[in-house]
Amino acid sequence: MDPITRKHLDNLQSEDANLRYEAFSSIISITHQPVDWAYEVWDDLLAQLQNKNNHQRAIAAQVLCNLAKSDPGNRMLKDLDKIMEVTWDERFVTARHTLQSLWKIAAVGKKLQTMVVERLVNRYHDCIKEKNCTLIRFDIIQSFRRLYDQVNDKEVKEKALELIQLENDPKYQKKYEGLWKDAN
């Protein structure tokens, strides 16, 4: 790993919010492509999912989602549920950031796609009793759309549209459908 990337990774835990955000933006940008250093930071990021600071939990979840494409050893197969736990985070913004990033794991390959889709479907159903159910559902449907745009798998689209039909409130059903209006 080059020294600049190492510095950015170190700065992810900075108390300085501006420095932390700059580091996060850089790491997310770097990890748009596969990197060869994923396992150097993987376990530390998994540990950060339990950090008392919600910013650290959100950062760790999002970076791990980006690192899924840099996982030749398929560690994500066993670590996905640890990331999914963050979708129930006590800080709603942390849960949302995680939900909005999960599609990146699903886009890596069919096995992970199946696992993520299954978990998101369950999360869609389970959130009905939560305060922010409609936002959670929006994020899930949006994740399906982003995944579909990436992999062009019609089963993803069908599953999302099926979930949308389960929404009882016409206002939200229309909002979720809006995410798919221009899908092929």
pLDDT per residue over 83-105, tens digit each?
A: 999 999 999 999 999 999 999 99
Write the DSSP symbol of residue 157: H
**50, 105, 78, 159: CA torsion to nearest 10:** 110
User: What number of CA atoms fall less than 13 Å from residue 114's CA on the CB side?
Assistant: 3
Q: How far apart are CA 100 and CA 141, in angstroms?
A: 10
What's the confidence (pLDDT) of residue 140?
Answer: 98
The per-residue pLDDT for range 1-47, each reduced to its tens digit, is 999 999 999 999 999 999 999 999 999 999 999 999 999 999 999 99
Distance CA 131, CA 171 (A): 17
The pLDDT confidence band at residue 184, using thresholds 50, 70 and 90, is confident
Tell me if 172 sits within 8 A of 134, measured CB to CB: yes
pLDDT in tens, 53-84: 999 999 999 999 999 999 999 999 999 999 99
Is pLDDT of 118 > 90? yes
Nearest to 100 by CA among 123, 77, 78: 123
Confidence band, pLDDT 50/70/90 cuts, at residue 183: confident
Amino acid identity at 15: E
Quote the mean pLDDT of the chain.
Answer: 96
Tokens 């050893």 sit on residue = 73
DSSP 146: H
Exposed/middle/buried for 181, CB within 10 Å: 0-12, 13-18, 19+?
Answer: exposed
CA-CA distance, 68 to 26, in Å (whole number)? 17
Per residue, the 3-state secondary structure of 36-87, as one string, reads: CCHHHHHHHHHHHCCCCCHHHHHHHHHHHHHHHHHCCCCCHHHHHHHHHHHH
Joined together, the tokens standing for residue 172 give 């939200």
- pLDDT tens for 126-159 read 999 999 999 999 999 999 999 999 999 999 999 9
pLDDT at 162 over 80: yes
Per-residue pLDDT, 25: 97
